[in-house]
């Protein structure tokens, strides 16, 4: 029979995710990826390899992309997280974040399983003021695996989204 | 792919952490960035009863230069080291080595000390620190000691750290004027574990004669070993293609990398030899051009 969970193997965890507070009593061994999906109910964060290789579970911890399968939920206690769900906060129903819209238009996804991880890894590039070469964009996405599309259209999507965010069109396109 | 149960401790000071390490000994394990340890836990290849998380000890992170030497706190994130202007200016070998370390998301969380203490022979930072003659400051409740890189790495995934000790700081001496650096690596895909690589530092005098060389090998054996004979052979003359080729052959004559699905031992030995040769050539090229830049700067100020 499995032994009971000892007191020092459990913790109360409070985490802010996309500006909302979530708390739960969890085992200390609970991975952050599982906390996000099963305790917070935010299933946009996908779990692929669970050993840090595929990048599907990438989230932003205090603004920096990290693997949520290589962190324990207790380590995120008191910290602030952003997941793919946060990208459309404040937007009208059905409206997409500029990076999501660009992925859609440039066919940067097929099955979509890896997409939330890509979006979390690449979103910071939209705020990067520097000119970025294709190589730099490819380095930024090198930690995420996609088995459907290849990466060319994802690079194109990043470039399109950067153009739109950095230099908003002076006149909106006619309907 | 879920980790086994463990008792979790998140000390707020080094003293507290050292007390926990002393208390739990071989049943305890220090958790730094977790980018190597957590996969081992998820696979249940490691099953420590107590995990002592160092992430809430702010004093263990930071990069400073004191008396010309670089001091890196053990919990400094790899991405922080990668983007440090101080490091890029004075110890560019570290900056170049970091571009080969996994991926940006891993470097955001992975720590400098964690990589050193994990001591994977295919990891870049131990090789770069070894080439730079770094020293590792280690603490326990029994006191502190400093271990030279050459003595720190014992074998595959094994260091001179005792069960109650923690790596606290890495100290890197300055490199002499006229030094060029190079870090070379080949992996199946960028960010994968290296099949082979090398770190080289070459120092030249005003005439281009090599006065000092340091070579460390990546994924060539159980530890990130130096190649002292090859280093000595480079000193005393200008480094031309023949000298680089001969030194690379000498550096790899006695290595016996383990073969696996990605390449036989023989293939890996040959690969490391090529990586060493390229590292020597590039480091020398950079050393010569710093000397030339120094001369033209002097000429300009004199004229």
Domain holding B256: CATH number?
Answer: 3.30.390.50
Tokens 């994924």 -> residue: B219
Q: Which domain holds residue B35?
A: 7-53
- Domain end (from B172, B206, B227): B172
What φ, ψ does residue B95 adopt, rounded to 5°? -60, -45
Please, which residues 36-55 of chain A have a Cβ atom closer than 8 Å to chain B? 49-52, 55
Cβ–Cβ contact A33 with B under 8 A: no
User: Helices (DSSP H) in A5-145: which residue ranges?
Assistant: 32-34, 98-105, 115-122, 134-141
B8 to chain A, any CB pair closer than 8 A? The answer is yes
Domain end: B172, B199, B220, which one?
B172
Residue B198 inside a domain? The answer is yes
DSSP B176: P
Mean pLDDT (chain B) is 95
**Local confidence band at A174 (pLDDT 50, 70, 90 cut-offs):** low
Whether residue B210 is found in the same domain as residue B151: no
Nearest to B5 among A29, A58, A66 (CB): A29
> Are B291 and B183 found together in one domain?
yes
B68 with B102, same domain: the answer is: yes
Strand A10-17 to A20-27 pairing? antiparallel
- Specify whether B72 is located in the same domain as B146: yes
Of residues A2 and B163, more confidently modeled: B163
Whether B252 and B230 map to the same domain: the answer is yes
* Cβ atoms B235, B208 nearer than 8 A: no
Does residue B2 belong to any structural domain of this protein? no
* B272, B199: one domain: yes
The CATH number of residue B23's host domain is 3.30.43.10
Instruction: Classify residue B63: in a domain, yes or no.
Output: yes
> Do both B219 and B132 map to the same domain?
no
Residue B192 has pLDDT above 60, yes or no: yes
Does residue B46 sit in the same domain as residue B64?
no
- Scanning the structure block, which residue is given the tokens 């020293």? B135
> For B77-90, what is each residue's pLDDT tens digit?
999 999 999 999 99
Residue B168 lies in a domain: yes
Query: A23-27, A70-74, B136-140, B193-197: which range is least confident on average?
Result: B193-197
Kindly state whether residues B34 and B72 are assigned to the same domain.
no
Cα distance between residue B168 and residue B288, in whole Å: 36
How many helical (H) and strand (E) elements, i.e. helices and strands, does chain A have?
5, 5
How far is the CA of B219 from the CAs of A94, B152, B157, B227, B266, in angstroms? 50, 17, 12, 14, 13
CA distance B54 to B77: 12
- Both B64 and B35 in a single domain? no
Task: Identify the CATH number of the domain in which residue B63 sits.
Answer: 3.30.465.10
Tell me what pLDDT residue A168 has. 64
| B193 in a structural domain | yes
Model confidence pLDDT, tens digit, residues A143-172: 999 999 889 999 999 999 999 998 765 555
Residue B24, in any domain of the structure:
yes
Asked, for residue B240, whether it belongs to a domain, the answer is yes
Residue pLDDT, tens place only, B135-190: 999 999 999 999 999 999 999 999 999 999 999 999 999 999 999 999 999 998 88
Boundary-marking domain end, from B116, B138, B172: B172
Does residue B1 sit within a domain?
Answer: no
pLDDT, mean of residues B224-235:
96
Task: For chain A, list the domains and their CATH numbers.
Answer: 7-87 (3.10.20.30), 96-166 (1.10.150.120)
- Shared domain for B68 and B34, answered yes or no, is no
Residues B193, B285 within the same domain: yes
- Ramachandran region, residue A47 (left: φ > 0; alpha: ψ -120 to 50; beta: rest): beta
Domain count, chain B: 3
Q: With an 8 Å Cβ cutoff, is B44 touching chain A?
A: no
Q: Which residue of A has its CA nearest to B43?
A: A51
Residue numbers in A near B75 (CB within 8 A): none
**For residue A103, what are the contacts with CB-CB under 8 A and spacing of at least 6?**
A109, A115, A118, A119, A154, A157
**Nearby residues of B163 by Cβ (< 8 Å), 6 or more positions away:** B21, B25, B26, B28
């Amino acid at each position: 029979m499995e032994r009971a969970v000892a007191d020092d193997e459990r913790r109360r965890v409070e985490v802010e995710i996309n500006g909302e507070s979530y708390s739960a009593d969890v085992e200390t061994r609970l991975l952050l990826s599982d906390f996000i999906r099963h305790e917070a109910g935010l299933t946009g964060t996908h779990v692929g390899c669970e050993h840090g290789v595929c990048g599907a579970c990438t989230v932003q911890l205090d603004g920096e992309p990290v693997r949520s399968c290589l962190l324990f939920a207790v380590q995120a206690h008191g910290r602030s997280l952003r997941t793919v769900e946060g990208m459309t906060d404040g937007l009208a129903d059905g409206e997409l974040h500029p990076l999501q819209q660009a992925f859609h238009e440039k066919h940067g996804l097929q099955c979509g399983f890896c997409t939330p991880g890509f979006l979390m890894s690449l979103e910071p590039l939209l705020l990067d003021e520097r000119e970025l070469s294709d190589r730099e964009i490819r380095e930024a996405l090198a930690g995420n695996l996609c088995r459907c599309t290849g990466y060319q259209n994802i690079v194109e999507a990043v470039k399109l989204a950067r153009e739109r965010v950095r230099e908003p069109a002076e006149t909106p396109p006619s309907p | 792919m879920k980790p086994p149960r463990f008792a979790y401790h998140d000390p707020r000071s080094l003293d507290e952490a050292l007390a926990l390490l002393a208390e739990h000994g071989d049943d305890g394990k220090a958790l730094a960035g977790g980018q190597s340890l957590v996969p081992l836990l998820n696979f249940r290849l490691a099953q420590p009863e107590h995990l002592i998380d160092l992430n809430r000890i702010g004093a263990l992170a930071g990069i400073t230069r004191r008396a010309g030497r670089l001091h890196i706190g053990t919990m400094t994130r790899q991405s922080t080291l990668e983007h440090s202007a101080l490091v890029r200016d004075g110890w560019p070998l570290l900056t170049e080595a970091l571009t080969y370390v996994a991926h940006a998301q891993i470097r955001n969380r992975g720590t400098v000390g964690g990589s050193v203490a994990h001591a994977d022979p295919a990891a870049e930072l131990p090789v770069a620190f070894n080439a730079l003659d770094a020293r590792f400051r280690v603490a326990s409740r029994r006191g502190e000691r400093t271990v030279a890189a050459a003595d720190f790495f014992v074998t595959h995934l094994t260091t001179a750290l005792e069960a109650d000790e923690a790596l606290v700081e890495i100290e890197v001496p300055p490199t002499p004027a006229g030094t060029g650096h190079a870090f070379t690596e080949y992996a199946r895909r960028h960010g994968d574990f290296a099949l082979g690589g090398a770190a080289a530092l070459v120092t030249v005098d005003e005439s281009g004669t090599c006065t000092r060389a340091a070579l460390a090998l990546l994924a060539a054996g159980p530890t990130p070993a130096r190649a002292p004979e090859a280093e000595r052979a480079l000193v005393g003359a200008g480094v031309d293609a023949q000298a680089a080729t001969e030194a690379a052959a000498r550096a790899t004559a006695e290595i016996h990398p383990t073969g696996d699905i990605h390449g036989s031992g023989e293939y890996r030995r040959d690969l490391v030899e090529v990586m060493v040769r390229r590292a020597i050539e590039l480091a020398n090229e950079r050393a010569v051009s710093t000397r030339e830049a120094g001369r033209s700067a002097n000429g300009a100020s004199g004229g």
